[in-house]
Amino acid sequence: MKDLFSLRDRVALITGGSRGIGRMIASGFLAYGARLYITARKEAPLRRAAAELAAEGECTAIPADVSTLAGIERLAAEIRERESRLDILVNNAGAAWLAPFADFPEAGWDKVVALNLKTPFFLTQALLPLLRASARPERPAKVIHVASIDGISVNPMETYPYGASKAGLIQLTRRMALRLAGDNIVVSAIAPGPFPSDMNREARDHGEAVAAQVPLGRVGRAEDMAGAAVYLASRAGDYVVGSVVTVDGGVTHARG
């Protein structure tokens, strides 16, 4: 039981790991002993984040654009060159787009759906040999999708493909979990609520106003997200298959 949440000797990759929820998860993984790779499209902020995280543990930056199949394959090839196995994959990179219904552009729809729904599938597919190399019955490999409460309940903001893609990701989690369980790869998801980030600027810039709508009375903290991710990634979460852990202070229930 003392090692239930340990990630020692585990190799992890987090997409979108340089900021926001990905950065919160990265800190948690390092605190519990993982050897970590983070990836993002913008190289300078990514390398800066990796250098800062290296003070907490072993963290390596690999710049990559995972919104395209070519970018996914380049990232997978880079990981294959460096590692013989991958214990934990966190599909966190995501996008949102806000526009009125009558004017919502196809470009915004395609960008959001591709990154939020298509990328987690094809990146997991590309890394499947490394995940299988790690997986065994007594210590399965882990794939964790970062969904959203907007895929569970309706956000009144006009972010149409965001909620739709996150709902799709939750269903994809269930389907992938059933397929990969036989390979000793456990797939699960996290559905965050209001956490301060560049994507959720309301929670970042107007925290008190957002907190007033949260039953628990506050926005999410880094340790809230890190705790959920460490739970799913570690031995503690080995029997959580295809499920979604909602981390939102009660917002989903308050929406009704």
Length of the chain, in residues:
256
Separation of alpha carbons 165 and 146, rounded Å: 11
Tell me which H or E stretch contains 185.
strand 185-192
Q: Which residue in the list 32, 162, 231, 239 is annotated as catalytic?
A: 162
Q: Do residues 53 and 30 touch, judged by C-beta distance below 8 A? A: yes
Decide if 162 is catalytic.
Answer: yes
Place of tokens 């009704």: 256
Q: First vs last Cα of the chain: how many Å apart?
A: 37
Q: Which residues pair with 246 in a beta bridge?
A: 191
Which amino acid appears at position 115 of this protein?
L
List residues with catalytic annotation: 162
